[in-house]
Amino acid sequence: MLHKISQFCDKVDTIKKMSDELRVLKYQTPKSKDRDFRIQNLIETIQADCHLVSQDKSDYDNNKNEEGEYGDYSGITSYAMHIQNNKE
């Protein structure tokens, strides 16, 4: 795992909050173009975040990388660390 456990849990919490917002938008908000756009945006964001979490498959290690950082869920640091790990 490239991230701290707390970051992993925070990402799951964020996904849950977006899911709750999506449910309210879909079932408790009057239809409009803005609402439909926000629904689609939330769906895509949830899917992207779930994909990032699902790809963090390395073994859990409580150590920081060589730069003294953990990965993050932006995809940038994680991707860079993945490349670096594959070179070794």
Q: Where are the domains of the chain?
A: 5-87
Which residues have CB under 8 Å from 45's CB, separation 6+?
18
Quote the pLDDT of residue 43.
97
Q: Mark out the alpha helices in the chain (DSSP H runs).
A: 5-28, 33-54, 76-87
Q: Kindly report whether the global pTM for this prediction surpasses the value 0.75.
A: no
Quote the pLDDT of residue 73.
61
Quote the pLDDT of residue 84.
42
Quote the pLDDT of residue 30.
96
Comparison of pLDDT for 56 and 37, the residue scoring more: 37
| pLDDT higher than threshold 50 for residue 25 | yes
Residue 15, CA atoms < 13 Å, CB-side half-sphere:
17
3-class state of residue 63 by DSSP: coil
Please answer whether residues 11 and 72 qualify as being in contact, where contact means their C-beta atoms are separated by less than 8 angstroms: no
Quote the pLDDT of residue 55.
87
| pLDDT higher than threshold 90 for residue 58 | no
